[in-house]
Amino acid sequence: MLTKIGERIRVGVVFREEGQKIEPRWFLWKGKRLTIQRVTYRWREKTGKELIHKFAVTDGSNLYELSYLQESLLWFLEAVETDG
């Protein structure tokens, strides 16, 4: 089931290739540190001038959608998808 969240979160990220490659590794949510096992998909969206990097990631049990606002340097947890 997909649940929209839309919360600002703190994320541990590795930026590689002069910041071209963005690799989120873990994030803090609801007081827990969730380790990202795999980025399943990445794409870019645009709102006006703001470039948003989107990531579908999994911690092994659930699927999360994260977004990174390149201009504002903010991370959001957009949605959570739990099995079933």
Partner 1 sequence: MDKTIMYIDADAFFASVEQASRPNLLGKPVAVAGRNKRTVVVASSYEAKRLGIKTGMTKGGAKRTLPSLIIVEGNNEKYVDTCVRINEILLKYTPEVEIYSIDESFMDITGSFPFFPSPAGIAHAIKKEIKDTFGITCSIGIGPNRLIAKIAGESGKPDGLVMVKKEETRGFMKELPVGAIPGIGKRMGVALKDLGVITCGELLDFPVSVLRRRFGIWGDYVSLMAQGIEPLGDKRSGRPSTSIGHSMTFEEDIGDRATIKSHILELSEMVGRRLRKEGMTARGFSLTWRYPDFTTYTKRCSIPFHTQDGKMIYQVTGTLMDSIRLKDRIRLLGVTAFNLQKSMAISPLIEKSDKGERLYKVMDTINDIFGEHSIHRATLLLCRKHHWVISPAYRPYKSYPFRR
User: Which of 9, 13, 22, 74 is the binder for partner 1 (CB under 8 A)?
Assistant: 74
Q: Least Å distance between CB 11 and partner 1?
A: 16
70 is a contact residue toward partner 1 (CB under 8 A): no
Task: Tell me if 22 contacts partner 1 by CB under 8 A.
Answer: no
Task: Report the run of H or E that residue 35 belongs to, with start and end.
Answer: strand 32-35
Quick check: helix, strand or coil at residue 52? strand
Please state, as a whole number, how many other Cβ atoms lie within 10 Å of the Cβ of residue 49. 7
Interface residue with partner 1, options 49, 66, 75, 77 (CB under 8 A): 49
